[in-house]
Every structure is written in C-alpha cells, then in structure tokens.
C-alpha cells in the first residue's frame, strides 16, 4: 500500500509500505477514505517530537471502511463506515471506566512523555505519534490497523459525507473538550489563542454552548477573518496589537474573560528568548501564550489548554495564577467520550466542522499538503487527503414501476 512516512525534519514521503494485518483478536484493518493533517503532525514535521523513526507512518485523523476484522470484534463488520478516534483505549481499565480514554493504562507500550515520571504508567497509545506513544502506524495511508476496535471506531450513518464527520477523530472533540473544560456556557466571555483548526473548532463549540463574546488571537489575518465571518469572533491580530491580553482586559471592563483557551501550544511564537532556548533544547516549551492566557483571564476564571506542551516552561507566572485564583485544565482529548454527542450535533446541522477545509488532495500530494499547512501558504486552514478516492454512497437500485 501507499503511505506517508517520516524521514526527518521537513522530510515526509509517500512510499510503498507493507499492508497492515490483523495482529490481535479485537483489531480491524481499515481502508482509509479520508484523513487530515493536524497541527500536532506539524510538531513531528518540524522535528520537535522525540522517538520518531525513519519510515514511521504518520496520521491520527482518519476514517474509512472496515476491510477485515479480528475474531474478537463484536461491534463492527466488514463494510461498516467508521471514524476512528486518535487515542487508542481499552475501554475497561481504571481510567477508561472514568471515560478518561486518553489516560488508558493498557494501550501504550512506549514510555509516554512525562519527564519526572517515577514509575507512573504512560497514558493511551496514539496513532502515528512516535514511539513515546506506542509506535502505532498512522492513517495517512491506504490502509491502517486499528486496535481496540470494539471501543474506538464510531459507525457513521448513511447520508453524511466523509468531510462532515472526519473531524470527530480529533479536532472537533478537542475544541469541544477545551470549551467544556473552560466551563463555557450561556453568556460566557472567552479568549481563544490560535486560529488554527483546533482554535476554530473551539470557537464553534463555544458558540454551540452559548458563549456571548469570543476574542480570537493569531498572526494570520485570513484565519481570523474566516473566524469572524463564521463564528462571530472579535479578531486580535498579533501583528497589529502587541499585547492581546492588555487589549482584552481593556475591552472587558478591566476584569478579563471568564475563560482562556490556549489552542497554540509549545511552539507559540512571539518570544525570541524562548525560541532560542527551545532550539538549543534548554527549554521544552514556549510560555508566550500561557502567560497571555493567565493575564487575560478574570479572577476565578479558567485557563483551558488543548495545545500540546512538552517539558518545562520558563517564566510561568504561577504567582499571578494563585493571586487570581485561576483553574487550569488541559491534556489530550478523551475523544471517545464526546464523539456520539458531537455526531448528533452534526446530524442536526448544529455543527458544520467541514467548513474549515481549504485543501482536498490525493495521498500522493501529502508532502505538499504538509508544506503549505506548515507555512500557512495558499490561505491554508485544513488539508484533507483521500487515499482511496472520495467516499461515494452505493447507488440504490430503482425498480421500474411498470414491472
Ligand atoms: N489536546 C489534544 O488532544 C490535541 C488534539 C489536537 C491538536 N492539539 C494541539 O492543538 C494545537 C493547535 O493545533 P492546530 O491544528 O490548530 O495547529 P496550527 O498550527 O494549525 O494552529 C496554531 C495557530 O496558532 C497560531 N499562533 C502561534 N503563535 C501564537 C501566539 N503567540 N499567539 C496566538 N496565536 C499563535 C498560529 O499562527 C496558528 O494559526 C497544537 O499544539 C496541537 O498539537 C491537541
Ligand atoms: Zn490531531
Ligand atoms: Zn483503558
């Protein structure tokens, strides 16, 4: 089969790889019909995720048709059309029982990413996300092996296109969990840092939950303008406004917002010192957005962090957070927890995640997709690849009335 493989920083290639096979009774093999490139893939693409090996297959946002099932698969059959969550969860451990699927204790044979780990078990394995997270092959490929198939994959009813439901695999539940973690509800004021796909899905979710005012901060005017038109955000362009938090405080009666959502993560731009320290591997993460989020949030408010962080952050103003009595919530998304309810919102037309897609490409063009998404060229917001051609529903047979 053809698959997108990792060869080093800014070097991904579409190559011929062995077809995946059933390795455990509760595995399926999926024929991938649609897969997306995520901001998390960009961390890998920029060479910032350790424990990647040459030839690893990338991709954790995918869906397709069940091609083969292990003999322990009870919930799916060949031919079913499913979306697969990026977190691999067993469904029966201590954390899965609490619906904390991203903390599953049984699916990651790797080390996990905690630095001061002691003997704690790693969290869930992830598709296509380095050997720290289990070394599972990803779904930017014609076929992918999906473990724990009785727990993760969600069957999609007929009548919905791939693009309407693909983002149930990651960014839609991630944006939604970020909003729920931020305790966003009717009348809330929110600041969303980052107008990438996760920031946009967070904005859609905040609107769904009844937020009144949403500030959105980014350097790219085209992403902000889309968010203004689509979700009614108040855009703050970092090229024009030096200190977004100061602007937000002034615009909220010198109080700050109820919740800030950091949809940027550890590669946040804007601090030269931290960029240099990170490049020298003397610091794990840029704290630029975290400092802005702490400053922009009102006393007793929430800083919700879906953006990925790694290791330590200098200049983390914990004293300010204490003085304001802030709440912090963060982490990988418990995608399986939110997928069924979000599918219902899509069916009712209350969420239209597909509107953020700007680029449709074949798998062969995946390397170009990474390039333009990383550089924010061609006004790119989100790239969707179709490894085995777009999904076409089977035509229903019509029987002529006269017969
Ligand atoms: N928690 C999870 O389970 C989960 C799931 C998916 C993605 N993520 C993470 O969410 C983050 C965002 O993902 P994405 O797909 O939207 O990525 P993206 O790279 O497309 O978007 C990030 C946006 O942040 C902006 N940005 C950079 N520095 C900024 C700053 N100082 N202030 C404001 N904006 C700034 C960029 O211009 C860009 O538009 C990534 O860190 C990704 O790894 C986490
Ligand atoms: Zn992702
Ligand atoms: Zn589990």
pLDDT single digits (tens) 37-52: 999 999 999 999 999 9
Confidence of residue 24 (pLDDT cuts 50, 70, 90): very high
Mark whether 7 and 150 lie in a shared domain: yes
402: pLDDT strictly greater than 50: no
Establish if 63 belongs to a structural domain: yes
**Model pTM score:** 0.96
> Which atom of ligand 1 lies nearest, measured to the CA of 335?
3
Considering the domain architecture, whether residues 242 and 314 belong to the same structural domain is answered as yes
The residue whose CA is least distant from atom 39 of ligand 1 is 196
Confidence band, pLDDT 50/70/90 cuts, at residue 390:
low
Residue 179 within a domain:
no
Cα of 228 vs its chain's centroid, Å? 21
Residue 123 Cβ < 6 Å to ligand 1:
no
Whether 39 lines ligand 1, by a CB cut-off of 6 Å, is: yes
Q: Is the CB of 141 within 6 Å of ligand 1?
A: no
Q: How far is CA 168 from the centre of its chain?
A: 9
Residue 272: what pLDDT?
82
Q: Inter-axis angle of helices 244-251 and 288-296, to 10 degrees?
A: 10
Quick check: CB of 145 below 6 Å from ligand 1?
no
- pLDDT confidence of residue 99: 98
CB 304 within 8 A of CB 330: yes
Q: Is 103 in the pocket of ligand 1 (CB under 6 A)?
A: no
Range of the domain at 317: 184-329
| pLDDT tens figures, 223-262 | 999 999 999 999 999 999 999 999 999 999 999 999 999 9
Q: CA-to-CA distance for 339 and 174, rounded, in angstroms? A: 10
Mean pLDDT of 78-103: 98
Nearest CA to ligand 1 atom 21: 196
pLDDT for position 398: 41
Q: Let me know whether 229 and 152 are in one domain.
A: no
CB neighbours (10 Å) of residue 228? 16
Q: The domain that contains 324 carries what CATH number?
A: 3.40.50.720
Are 17 and 144 members of one domain?
Answer: yes
How far from 237 is each of 193, 220, 260, CA to CA, in Å?
11, 7, 16
- pLDDT tens digits, residue range 142-198? 999 999 999 999 999 999 999 999 999 999 999 999 999 999 999 999 999 999 999
Q: Residue 393: inside a domain, yes or no?
A: no
Cα end-to-end distance, the chain, whole Å: 45
* 208 and 160 part of one domain: no
Per-residue burial over 133-145, b = 16 or more CB atoms within 10 Å of its CB, e = otherwise: bbbbbbbbbbbbb
Share of the chain above pLDDT 90, in %: 90
Which of 86, 87, 104 lies closest to 95 in space, CA to CA? Answer: 104
Same domain membership, residue 262 and residue 204:
yes
pLDDT of residue 69 exceeding 50: yes
Shared domain check, 189 and 252: yes
pLDDT over 70 (residue 53): yes
Q: Is residue 400 part of a domain?
A: no
Distance CA 130, CA 308 (A): 14
Comparing C-alpha atoms, which of 9, 94, 110, 6 is closest to residue 57? 6
Q: How many folded domains does the chain comprise?
A: 2
**Do 143 and 235 share a domain, yes or no?**
no
Q: Are residues 81 and 157 in the same domain?
A: yes
Average pLDDT, integer, range 272-299: 86
206 within a domain of the structure (yes/no): yes
Which is nearest to 291 in space by CA: 180, 195, 217? 217
- Same domain flag for 289 and 350: no
CB-proximal residues (5 Å) to ion ligand 2? 38, 40, 170
Together in a domain, 60 and 93: yes
Contact 268 CB / ligand 1 (< 6 Å): yes
Which residues 6+ apart lie within 8 Å of 269 measured at CB? 219, 238, 275, 286, 288
Looking at the structure, tell me whether residues 355 and 294 fall in a common domain. no
């Amino acid at each position: 089969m053809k698959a997108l493989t990792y060869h080093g920083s800014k070097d991904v290639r579409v190559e011929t790889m062995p077809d995946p096979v059933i390795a455990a009774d509760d595995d399926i093999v999926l024929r991938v019909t649609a897969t997306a490139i995520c901001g998390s893939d960009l961390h890998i693409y920029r060479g910032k995720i350790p424990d990647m090996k040459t030839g690893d297959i990338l991709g954790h946002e995918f869906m397709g048709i069940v091609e083969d099932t292990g003999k322990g698969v009870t919930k799916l059959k060949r031919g079913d059309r499913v979306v697969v969550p990026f977190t691999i969860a067993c469904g029966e451990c201590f954390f899965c029982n609490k619906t904390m699927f991203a903390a599953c204790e049984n699916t990651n044979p790797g080390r996990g990413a905690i630095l001061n780990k002691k003997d704690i078990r790693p969290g869930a394995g992830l598709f296509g996300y380095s050997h720290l997270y289990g070394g599972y092959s990803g779904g930017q490929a014609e076929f992918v092996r999906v473990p724990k198939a009785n727990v993760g994959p969600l069957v999609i009813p007929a009548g919905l296109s791939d693009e309407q439901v693909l983002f149930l695999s990651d960014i839609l539940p991630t944006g939604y969990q970020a909003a729920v973690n931020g305790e966003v509800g009717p009348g809330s004021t929110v600041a969303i840092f980052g107008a990438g796909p996760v920031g946009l899905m967070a904005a859609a979710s905040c609107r769904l939950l009844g937020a009144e005012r949403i500030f959105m901060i980014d350097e790219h005017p085209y992403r902000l303008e889309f968010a203004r038109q689509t979700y009614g955000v108040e855009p703050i362009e970092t090229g024009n406004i030096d200190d977004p938090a100061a602007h937000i405080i002034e615009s909220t009666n010198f109080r700050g917002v109820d919740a800030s959502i950091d949809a940027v993560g550890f590669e946040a731009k804007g601090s030269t010192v931290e960029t240099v320290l990170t490049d020298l591997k003397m610091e794990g993460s840029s704290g630029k957005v975290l400092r802005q989020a702490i400053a922009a949030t009102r006393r007793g408010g929430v800083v919700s962090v879906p953006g990925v962080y790694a290791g330590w952050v200098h200049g983390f103003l914990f004293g300010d957070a204490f003085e304001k009595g802030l709440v912090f919530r963060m982490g990988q998304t418990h995608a399986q927890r939110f997928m069924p309810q979000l599918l219902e919102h899509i069916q009712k037309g209350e969420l239209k995640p597909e509107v953020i897609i700007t680029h449709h490409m074949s798998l062969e063009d995946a390397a170009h997709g990474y390039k333009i998404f990383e550089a924010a060229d061609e006004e790119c917001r989100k790239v969707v690849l179709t490894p085995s051609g777009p999904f076409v529903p089977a035509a229903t047979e019509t029987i002529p009335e006269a017969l």
